[in-house]
Structure 1
Amino acid sequence: MRLLALEAVQNASYYQSRYRQIEDFGSELFVLNGLGEPDYWPAPRYRVAGSKHVDDIIAAAKSWHAEQRFDGVLTFSESAVVTVAAVAEALGLPGIGVEAARTSRNKLLMRQAHERAGVPRPRFRFAPDVSVALAAAEEFGYPVILKPTLGAASNFVFRVDSPESLTERFAQASAGIAQMAWYRMEPDGLDLGPHGLMIESFLDGPEFLTEALAWDGEVYLGSVVDRVTVEGDTFDDDVHHAPTSLAPDQLAAVHQVITAAAHAQGIRRSVMHAEVRFHQGTPHLLEIAVRPGGGGLDYFARISAGYSPIEVLIDVASGVRPPVRHYRPTGVHTAGTCLISAPGRIEQINVPAAVTDSDRVFFFKITAKPGDVIRRPPHGNNILGFLCTTGKSFDDAIQAARELAEQIDVQVSNRDELVGAFGDHKGEG
């Protein structure tokens, strides 16, 4: 199986470990970046188009496809899903189509599709200026959620509880999204829909993350993970647990709302990372991304549910129906936390052997490096990485994760430094 992975702009080395998993599962992976570093992937299976314009990326992909005859094209990046759809169409390979990809990438277009189909969702309003945002918040009632239409990884997503807070956060987010890495990594030459901010009504219940598959009208939930973070006015997305605490009737309701939302977004055959939040006892759709979840969620899925999102992605990209089943937990408890430091420029990261050699750790990844600037809300949402552990219960697993995380020593300087890009290289959920 020969597969082509794409990014319009390379996201540092963030996806390399998942690229290696694709090869570990038996496929031969080629990597094409519109803009990227030399020697990022082994030659001769790596090329850089030299441009992030979609026409140049398509031309480079066509030329390479004529030589290698790829079986499929894929990405792990939220910022590349529309690019992949356009390249797949141009190469005549399996894909979800540009329209479905755009609807699944742009949060406003996604909400509008859910609204037309009657999918349970938060109330929403596109806010081209703060006066529209304030009017929407007054109509919906505080608290409300402020978020970018083309965001990722919770960058510039705020819960706001008053008009004064909304005015402040709107100014911060408006300045930040123009420089946000996830937006700058999008291709040129493609219509991505409105780029701006939107207001959503607040959903008051717990949140659940799923790894799922849509195949010819049927939706399979392969993995369900509880998000158990205590939230403030920002969303750090830092604590997860599986197997889920959902009761069978709640799980059935989650499956129903994800199925309806996938159909509304025009998703026919795709891997999906779907997020659902309960409100007054009923699941509401937060979003469906047409890629596997990041931050170790593929490991959560394999260990806690016997579901392999990356293997499913390999099959779907090549047009083969994966051998999947509906959610069936294994009984193994897993917990994970984002590694978060003080803001500033990283001078040094010291990870002791007690962390790297622990038999409790099933996923550990440092995504930052010395020299990187760590931004915390409201200026961005950078993290150091991820640490995930197993245990006899959730409490046992998360206690192990926290104890191990405390042993990681991070030294930062210039804590008030605000140079460089906003929101760079935080891992996607």
Structure 2
Amino acid sequence: MDDNGAHIGADGGPGTDGVILLIGCGMREYREYLLAGAAAAHPVWLFTGEEPDWQAPYLTGHTVVDVTDRAAVLAAARELAAHVPVRGTLSWDETLIVTTAHVAEALGLPGAGVDGVEGCRDKFRSRRVLTEAGVAQPRFAYVDTAEEALTAAAEIGYPVIVKPRGMGASIGVVLAADAGEVAGAFRTADEASQIGAVPYRSGALVEEYLEGPEISIDAAVVDGEYHPLFVARKQVGLFPYFEEIGHHVAADDPLRTDETLLGMVRAAHRAIGYRHGITHTEVKLTARGPVIVEINGRLGGDLIPRLGQLATGIDPARAAVRAALGLRPDFTDTEHRTVGIRFGYPPEDCEVRSVLPPTEAEGLLAAEAIAEPGTELRLPPNGYLARHSYVIVTGADPAETDARLDAAAALVRLDATPLAVPVPA
């Protein structure tokens, strides 16, 4: 520990290259591969709410600070920069990307810009900005009450999507097929917003339902120039909710070079003013063309960047570090595969006793339990991301990959006790 309360790693310090400041880290199961990749690309200093555990071997140093307190994080960043050269800032936590943008601005470092990140984080603001710029958007309205939601839905036309203003991972997103379902959908979205960041709590967006498959594009943005890394095809389930139960990435996916799609996404990034960093853009492929669902100012979740790395060889963590430094990443494919992931969900709300993933299956690359014994898993709307496991496989093409995912997921053994479902208030 130095005399300012910051903890320096065993290598004795960052040296002349300085450090990348990583704000928050996330769960080991989902983010360790990114931390390892970032540390291999550049020395990493972590701002964390508690003493590092599994993260420690990858760190040059760390500072314990309440990462949810923006003022405390800014003060700690200024203090760190006074003693350690900070070359860039980075976060892959949805709830911390706005704070990270403020830190980059305060330290004069490359970053997305506060306006650019707010254009991602605030879904209502994003809708307004992109619509004004002429980027294809669903019809939408922001509402504060169930009555306003009902009026908006009638004007937009059924079915509609009702979702929180500032959540991620499809949490609180509900399909309302008719007027009788709007009040319940609004309540679900409004309640889900209460666990998110304070500026985006309460109310909901009511949006036109878009028919068609959904994809996501992870990309690096350097000095406002958009560079796609890989495209993921999304699988959703647990209707009428939109839990993301799987994805697949193909190195030869034609959408990686589709000029209509990429032209629209580039226009969207220009409209929100995103400067430096990584984004994860979700798009519906509709009969009228590609339409943006949302832009997220971070790498994708659900291990999508890991799938991209396995499929193309492009290291997403290294790309994120270079973008944070204001440098263009390397976009050269070194792998040419199709890779997919499937998450295991219980058939009902339950308490986990054990999860046993398979050790062998056709094309299996990884299989992990992600719910410890004693974990309560509750399905929407009583809970979200109620996952007990995942399997990752590779196949010759998307169809074979999906078939292998079905087979590998069927081999997961879940032992659990059913839970009583709470009665809605």
Q: TM-score, normalised by structure 1?
A: 0.85
Give the match for residue 393 of structure 1.
397
AA of the residue aligned to 1:212: A
AA of the residue aligned to 1:377: P
Change (3 A) 1:250 1:64: closer
Q: Is the CA contact 2:355–2:388 (under 8 Å) kept in the aligned structure 1? A: no
Which of 162, 173, 178 is 1:157 aligned to? Answer: 173
Tell me how far apart the structure 2 counterparts of residues 370 and 324 of structure 1 sit (CA, whole Å).
Answer: 41
AA of the residue aligned to 1:17: Y
Q: Which portions of structure 1, spanning 4 or more consecutive aligned residues, are displaced by more than 6 angstroms?
A: none
SS of residue matched to 2:82? helix
Change (3 A) 1:38 1:221: closer
Change (3 A) 1:313 1:270: same
Give the match for residue 280 of structure 1.
287
1:274-318 CA-partner distances (Å, limit 9, x unpaired):
111122231111111111112221132223334332211010111
1:49-74 CA-partner distances (Å, limit 9, x unpaired):
14632111111222223332122111
Q: Is the CA contact 1:243–1:329 (under 8 Å) kept in the aligned structure 2? A: no
Greater alpha carbon shift after TM alignment, 203-212 vs 300-309: 300-309
In structure 1, runs of 5+ residues without a counterpart are 420-429
Tell me how far apart the structure 1 counterparts of residues 366 and 324 of structure 2 sit (CA, whole Å).
Answer: 25
Deviation of residue 217 (structure 1)?
4.0
Q: Is the CA contact 2:41–2:321 (under 8 Å) kept in the aligned structure 1? A: no
Which of 339, 351, 358 is 2:357 aligned to? Answer: 351
Give the match for residue 31 of structure 1.
46
AA of the residue aligned to 1:39: D
SS of residue matched to 1:15? helix
Q: Is the CA contact 1:346–1:412 (under 8 Å) kept in the aligned structure 2? A: yes
Give the match for residue 22 of structure 2.
5
Q: Is the CA contact 1:95–1:317 (under 8 Å) kept in the aligned structure 2? A: yes
1:210-241 CA-partner distances (Å, limit 9, x unpaired):
11122334322221122244673111222323
Q: Is the CA contact 1:159–1:234 (under 8 Å) kept in the aligned structure 2? A: yes
Q: Is the CA contact 1:241–1:333 (under 8 Å) kept in the aligned structure 2? A: yes
Tell me how far apart the structure 1 counterparts of residues 89 and 112 of structure 2 sit (CA, whole Å).
Answer: 11
The one of the two structures with greater contact order (alpha-carbon pairs below 8 A, sep at least 6) is 1
1:114-154 CA-partner distances (Å, limit 9, x unpaired):
01101101111101001111111111111100110111111
Which of 339, 360, 363 is 2:363 aligned to? Answer: 360
Which of 367, 375, 380 is 1:377 aligned to? Answer: 380
Give the match for residue 425 of structure 1.
none
Tell me how far apart the structure 2 counterparts of residues 246 and 352 of structure 1 sit (CA, whole Å).
Answer: 29
Give the match for residue 422 of structure 1.
none
Which of 70, 73, 76 is 1:60 aligned to? Answer: 76
CA RMSD in angstroms, aligned pairs only: 2.7
Which of 223, 245, 254 is 1:216 aligned to? Answer: 223
Greater alpha carbon shift after TM alignment, 362-371 vs 50-59: 362-371
AA of the residue aligned to 2:338: H
SS of residue matched to 1:238? strand
1:260-283 CA-partner distances (Å, limit 9, x unpaired):
111111112221111111222311
SS of residue matched to 1:295? coil
Tell me how far apart the structure 1 counterparts of residues 334 and 157 of structure 2 sit (CA, whole Å).
Answer: 38
Tell me how far apart the structure 2 counterparts of residues 146 and 348 of structure 1 sit (CA, whole Å).
Answer: 35
Match runs of 1:145-294 below 5 Å: 145-178=161-194, 180=195, 183=196, 186=197, 192=199, 195-229=202-236, 232-243=239-250, 251-294=258-301
Tell me how far apart the structure 1 counterparts of residues 211 and 257 of structure 2 sit (CA, whole Å).
Answer: 16
Change (3 A) 1:406 1:313: same
Q: Is the CA contact 2:138–2:208 (under 8 Å) kept in the aligned structure 1? A: yes
SS of residue matched to 1:126? strand
Report sequence identity in percent. 25
Match runs of 1:311-330 below 5 Å: 311-324=318-331
Q: Is the CA contact 1:213–1:221 (under 8 Å) kept in the aligned structure 2? A: yes
SS of residue matched to 1:68? coil
Q: Is the CA contact 1:126–1:197 (under 8 Å) kept in the aligned structure 2? A: yes
SS of residue matched to 2:247? strand
Change (3 A) 1:44 1:333: closer
Greater alpha carbon shift after TM alignment, 246-255 vs 102-111: 246-255
Tell me how far apart the structure 1 counterparts of residues 293 and 52 of structure 2 sit (CA, whole Å).
Answer: 37
Deviation of residue 399 (structure 1)?
2.2
Which of 115, 120, 132 is 1:99 aligned to? Answer: 115
Give the match for residue 12 of structure 2.
none
SS of residue matched to 1:94? coil
AA of the residue aligned to 1:199: V
Give the match for residue 20 of structure 1.
36
Tell me how far apart the structure 2 counterparts of residues 249 and 86 of structure 1 sit (CA, whole Å).
Answer: 31
**1:340 is the counterpart of 2:356:** no
Which of 405, 415, 423 is 2:419 aligned to? Answer: 415
SS of residue matched to 1:400? helix
Tell me how far apart the structure 1 counterparts of residues 338 and 256 of structure 2 sit (CA, whole Å).
Answer: 21
Q: Is the CA contact 1:102–1:193 (under 8 Å) kept in the aligned structure 2? A: no
Give the match for residue 427 of structure 1.
none
In structure 2, runs of 5+ residues without a counterpart are 1-16
Give the match for residue 424 of structure 1.
none
Deviation of residue 111 (structure 1)?
0.6
Tell me how far apart the structure 2 counterparts of residues 254 and 240 of structure 1 sit (CA, whole Å).
Answer: 19
Deviation of residue 161 (structure 1)?
0.1
Tell me how far apart the structure 1 counterparts of residues 306 and 32 of structure 2 sit (CA, whole Å).
Answer: 15
